[in-house]
Amino acid sequence: MRMRKAGRQAGFCGGKWKKSGFRKKQASQTRRKTMALIPLRPLLEATDKYHFAQGAFNVNAVAQAKAVIEVHEMFRSAAILQGADLANGFMGGRTDFLNATLEDKKIGAKNIAAAVKKYGENSPVPVVLHLDHGKDFDSVKAAIEGGYTSVMIDGSSLPFEENIELTREVVKYAHERGITVEGELGVLAGVEDHVFSASSTYTNPMNAVEFFRKTKVDCLAISYGTMHGPSKGKNVKLRKEIAIAIKECMNHENIFGVLVSHGSSTVPKYIVDEINALGGDVQNAYGISVEELKQAIPCGIGKINVDTDIRLAVTRNMKEFFAKYPEKQNSPSIGKIYELLEKNKTQVDPRAFLTPIMETLMKGVVPDEDVAAITGCIEAGVKEVVGTLIVQFGSVGKAPLVECATLDEMAERYKKAGI
């Protein structure tokens, strides 16, 4: 027992001691300590078994990936970093990322994966790189080839049977490679990159169980009252009974699956107020309350997606920086960022402002002190938001509970289970 505790204190990823000799145990744990990224499935299993939720945080820059990993290490929490489908296009150098091509996405997926591997492969906590809102099979394949360990295929806009068919196709391809798969059923209102809907369609619990059974997905994004974007409406009440019904039926039929809450940014009022006090014009910005999200966790929600909160904090930090150091407004390397901030007062997506330093975003190149200062703004904003939500969602200290299975190990398990 003393040796097991010592291993974990030394920073070993979770995982189980096996009934083999000590040398094998020691070698296995050493390998796990220095392994690169893990698939999402073992983390999902931990959230399901130990009844907590894991925040999943979207990144669009090397600095964001670095900050997300570092703050999770500080709280001894496993980390889920998400690159949205079009974030791959942006990280591939496409500033007009809404028009990103498959080739752009391939380049961007490799850039994001390289950054996550750089800061995560020797991390003392498990790290997952997950594709958010994969648009089609080719986008998913590009992410996997680029280095993602988990993918989402979003067929929610398709008829039910077509969604099942597309999702099952992705599951077969991904599981053969040990990659975790998330699907989506039901439609969230709001806007996030290319994902748009004027209204919501709640997830039917019976359809959700059938979806899990036929597709073999590992987790499922459901529509139960959340919304994409910064304007979710005042005092949103989540329909937690939808999650409860799905999990009850799945438990009855002995089907494993974790439910995912998309569009779950909390949109902190203090950050919105600070942006507006610094000359911004962000109106009607309301998020999902932390209390509502916390109450959904015991109902079966194990993964909670957050993007807008990070955008807000980073945007606030950059505005604050230029207000504090007005001489930097004319900087040769970052002055154009200030111009874009002033030109787009209603915008909160940092990608609208940071295009003058694309090489820094894509590759982590920091050519001078001014760019280093902006990079610091990005990292601080990420850590402020992510650290808060790690605590609120209950994943603090849970890293040792997550088994650090490799992709090859997961592929073998999927094969043996026939999924």
Rounded Cα distance between 8 and 33, Å, is 10
pLDDT band at 233 (very low <50, low <70, confident <90, very high): low
48 is annotated as an active-site residue: no
Instruction: Enter the pTM of the model.
Output: 0.89
Q: Which of 178-192, 251-265, 369-383 has the lowest mean pLDDT?
A: 178-192
Catalytic residue (one of 85, 104, 132, 370): 132
Question: What's the rounded mean pLDDT across residues 241-269?
Answer: 95
- Please give the Cα distance from 64 to 32 (Å, whole number): 25
Three-state DSSP at 169 gives helix
* pLDDT at residue 200, as a whole number: 58
Structure confidence by residue, pLDDT tens digits, 244-255: 999 999 999 999
Rounded to whole angstroms, what are the CA distances from 34 to 12, 13, 71, 119?
8, 9, 19, 12
pLDDT band for position 353 (50/70/90)? very high
**What pLDDT does 196 receive?**
42
- For residue 114, pLDDT over 80 is answered with yes
pLDDT one-digit tens code per residue, 23-63: 333 334 434 444 569 999 999 999 999 999 999 999 999 99
Q: Where are the beta strands (DSSP E) in 135-197?
A: 150-153, 180-185, 190-192, 195-197
126 within 8 A of 404, measured Cβ to Cβ: yes
